[in-house]
Structure 1
């Protein structure tokens, strides 16, 4: 092929003369991003700055008036809404590390030659993630009710009276649903990251006398630190936005009030309280709290990574 024909082919396949082609490929993502992410945030922020005021004695209709930060002051004065934050943070402080340890352990096991039928077990662990969270909560809610649960009935026959929806156990029951649903996807992400680690590093570690556990802790996990951070961040964000599981279980237990979590308090203010402006302010506060926690985790990870690199 001559130089002229080669350059002509490059021009033909590079889209010369049609600069709109790259934008056409990007346009669907941009449109969906603006419609389903940016637009709801803008609408929520705008709604939080207004309030509905009744005119006269309430028979003359209502009007929308600019309220400034009044809705935010009302949200911060709502004690039940604020108490939801330490609840979910304490819940996440237990649930997230447990889930990450189990997911990382499973990923490391699948990365060795010890586990047979890896595809089958990976699919079996991933399958609960494909079940919608509402359906998962309904399934486990069935198993949590003593009158219909075969597990609790079996334990009762042994003289063990277990109340999985009691005041002291309901959080553990919710955490069990989340672990069942999310361990598989986190394991898959970590396992995929392990596949990109050069195998020569493992061979060098074995030559130096490192066993499987030492190789996993000192080589494999540090090499997939970005994937660990990604899964941890997504788990923390999901914890702060906890809603589906307690909302479903609320129908079968009195130990889950309508303001059990911040997201449930937002839903209650919008539906039961019929105050969408207040709920928008609460949603903005929850979004900012999630952003702050994420930035703190990123800063802590950056500091740890820098300290480790300086130590080397």
Structure 2
């Protein structure tokens, strides 16, 4: 079909115009993604290619000298034992917290799906409320609750004969894990609950006709239907756990002997960038962390896909 012209200008076909109109809605996201993701990534990559050193004796005083070192800093960061020690801590933390968050969020979503529509709205908002609280503020709330001086939890436990120090070396991971679970299950629950709403109701009717109970329907029908959402929420939880920063940083103010400056990879990167002042090396560590997150996410995604195919 030929393109007609209006006033000497070619006329854009209707379908093409509709496609461009639809694509225009993504323009704000594309601009934001380019400015706040792509540009910082390229700037970070350029930073890792150079090393800044002081020209003075023993590295003190004198003018700063910037020298090109190529990928040497990335290779150094990839072999940094302090970085991998922190990575080991967050991996161990994630092995416990991520399945716990997924399990609780799935049970909550299934329970909400079993309720009447009028009641669901109230419970859904209450369960989502912890996720709406910023991480720093949530951590400060729980630091108050855990406080042995003013927090209510210690007094309640003492009244029943249990003395628990939430900031001790043996309890600090439990304290942070409880905080992370409380702060993230609402978001995961909402995604899983949304997936449950897309399950055709006819399947449930057929299952009940065949004699299936609520537990059987939940396990054999609902859970398989939300498997893709479970993979998504699991990947998001893994990424968030590997980048753990706000919680241990604030916990360090009350337990500095347990939580060191390089307790997690993100804390180590922050320390190198803003305390030591080695921006170039901190950027190299960030790139290594991003590669680790990408590899772990790819492995988990591949493994879950193979499980689905089997």
Offset at residue 13 of structure 1 (A) = 10
Deviations 1:223-278 (A, max 9, x none): 11111111111001000011011111111112111111110010011112110111
Correspondence 1:118 to 2:152: no
SS in 2 for 1:64: strand
What's 1:295 paired with? 298
What's 1:244 paired with? 246
Deviations 1:44-89 (A, max 9, x none): 2221121102224344311221112221243244322210111111
Report which stretch shifted further, 281-290 or 117-126. 117-126
What's 1:190 paired with? 192
SS in 2 for 1:117: helix
Report which stretch shifted further, 260-269 or 45-54. 45-54
Answer whether contact 1:250 1:257 (CA < 8 A) is retained: yes
Q: 1:281 aligns with which of 275, 284, 309?
A: 284
- Number of residue equivalences: 297
Answer whether contact 1:194 1:224 (CA < 8 A) is retained: yes
Q: Distance in 2 between matches of 1:59 and 1:146?
A: 46
Matches within 5 A, 1:63-82: 63-82=65-84
Answer whether contact 2:146 2:152 (CA < 8 A) is retained: no
CA RMSD after TM alignment:
2.1
SS in 2 for 1:163: coil
TM-score, normalising length: structure 2: 0.90
Answer whether contact 1:109 1:115 (CA < 8 A) is retained: no
Deviations 1:93-142 (A, max 9, x none): 11010111110001011111479722111111101111000000000011
Answer whether contact 1:15 1:21 (CA < 8 A) is retained: no
Deviations 1:251-310 (A, max 9, x none): 111211111111001001111211011110110010000000000011101111111xxx
* Stretches of structure 1 lacking an aligned partner (at least 5 in a row): 1-10, 308-312
CA 1:207/1:38 → structure 2, altered by over 3 Å: closer, same or farther?
same
Answer whether contact 1:133 1:245 (CA < 8 A) is retained: yes
Answer whether contact 2:78 2:288 (CA < 8 A) is retained: no
Offset at residue 168 of structure 1 (A) = 1.3
Matches within 5 A, 1:182-221: 182-221=184-223
